[in-house]
Amino acid sequence: MSSDQVIIIGAGAAGLMCAISAAENGKTVLVLDHANKAGKKILISGGGRCNFTNMYTEPSNYLSANPHFCKSALKRYTQWDFIAEVDKAGLPWHEKKLGQLFSDNKSEAILNMLLDRCEELGVGIKLNCSIDKIEKNDDGIFSLTSNDNTDTCSSLVIATGAMSFPTMGATDFGHRVARQFGLKVTNTTPGLVPFTFDAKEKARFDGLSGVSIDTEITCGKQSFRENILFTHKGLSGPAVLQISSYWQPGDTITVCCLADVDLFGELKQHHQDSPNKHLINILKLHFPERVIEKFCAGHELNKPLQQYKHSELETIADLFQKWSFIPSGTEGYKKAEVTLGGVDTDEISSKTFEAKKVKGLYFIGEVLDVTGHLGGFNFQWAWASGFCCGQAV
């Protein structure tokens, strides 16, 4: 192949979309990946059914040091554009909740749709390919030395994602390439990740592993209304994953179970209307017994309501509705769905995804400092950045 081909490193969501977009634009495209299979994260995503986009995608669903950076690509390649591709391929899908669109079939259907299109367009995909060295000569040609060859190109796209879920082939390769070419990389941390408890909290909630509760969860000024899930190590579930992207070590997390109900108000009402009812039976209308036992440990609940003062009922209600804790940490990149931070967007054109200082070098997808909320937003970023870059290379 000639050096005016486009080489994309990373056969994930962003890389495959970029390959399709560039090939549709008449470019010769080669995709390299060190994994033995393309799109491994697509395969495991959405619990095996790929939450491939979100109907309500907006720039406000993304975290970045520059919240404006994502706007252009999200506008030029929208969720409706990707849905149109899925429809064209005849793949059935459904909205699970909150605009989250899932494949009716396994995630493989979405991956195969992308791979089939790559094949139709003559995109080359080389797997098991580890790149040892990237150099750029004075004529602007990149040369990539890998375990099996040296490939050259005038346009090089880095679509290698970041460090989350290393068992799926995730690496910091893209950040290293950025640094090699003098580009800044912002501080990175695991995002959309479960929290861990310290020994005290672990003992407090021991036995609740597997229990899920609808909550409003808050960290600083950010709140999410979704379920939390107790685990052996701490807390997970969609609400926790969402808020984890806003959490810094030492920050307090506040949890309100039953956010739609004024529990103290309800207990006061029962206190007045049915004073002989036992407190435990009112609480059981809302929570499983083992949750009540754990949350109210040390409190006597098996008495008629008339035997409680209002202040005691308020204390009990607060145990569920004003519960707070400081996570001891997170489960780290091993369990994180995404990496927060990445290649500094100040270094990159939001129109073309080319590095402003390095002609011909592009960065797309999760490798950049753009991270979506849970719910299909991260794939939408991969599709949008991949598509726009593919049009520009």
Ligand X SMILES: Cc1cc2nc3c(=O)[nH]c(=O)nc-3n(C[C@H](O)[C@H](O)[C@H](O)COP(=O)(O)OP(=O)(O)OC[C@H]3O[C@@H](n4cnc5c(N)ncnc54)[C@H](O)[C@@H]3O)c2cc1C
Which DSSP helix (H) or strand (E) runs through 284?
A: none
Q: How deeply is 108 buried, as exposed, middle or buried, from its count of CB atoms within 10 A (0-12, 13-18, 19+)?
A: middle
> Side chain identity at 27, as an amino acid letter?
K
Per rule CB under 6 A, is residue 190 in the interface with ligand X? no
- Residue with Cβ nearer ligand X (40 or 271): 40
Task: Find the residue with minimal CB distance to ligand X.
Answer: 12
- Sign of torsion over alpha carbons 165, 114, 122, 384: negative
Candidates 195-203, 247-255, 306-314, 371-379 — which segment interacts with ligand X by CB under 6 A? 371-379
CA–CA dist 214, 256 (Å, integer): 9
For 150-183, give one letter per residue: b (16+ CB within 10 A) or e: ebbbbbbbbbbbbbbbeebbbebbbbebbeeeeb
Per rule CB under 6 A, is residue 327 in the interface with ligand X? no
CB of residue 195 vs ligand X: minimum separation in angstroms? 17
Residue bearing tokens 């100040």: 346
Per rule CB under 6 A, is residue 8 in the interface with ligand X? no
Using CB under 6 A, which of 125, 153, 169, 205 touches ligand X? 169
Using CB under 6 A, which of 30, 50, 217, 263 touches ligand X? 50
Strands 6-9 and 155-158, by their bridges, are parallel
CB of residue 18 vs ligand X: minimum separation in angstroms? 9
Q: Which residues contact 197 (CB under 8 A, 6 or more apart)?
A: 205, 233, 234, 235, 325, 327, 328
Using CB under 6 A, which of 366, 373, 384, 391 touches ligand X? 366
Structure tokens at 359: 């002609």
- Residue with Cβ nearer ligand X (313 or 388): 388
- Residue with Cβ nearer ligand X (161 or 327): 161
134 to 153, contacts with ligand X by CB under 6 A? none
Per rule CB under 6 A, is residue 131 in the interface with ligand X? yes
Q: What are phi and psi of 22, to 5 degrees?
A: -70, -40
Candidates 44-52, 248-256, 270-278, 346-354 — which segment interacts with ligand X by CB under 6 A? 44-52
Per rule CB under 6 A, is residue 194 in the interface with ligand X? no
Residue numbers at the binding site for ligand X (CB under 6 A):
9-15, 32-35, 40-41, 44-46, 50-51, 130-131, 159-161, 164-165, 169-171, 173, 337-338, 365-366, 376-379, 382
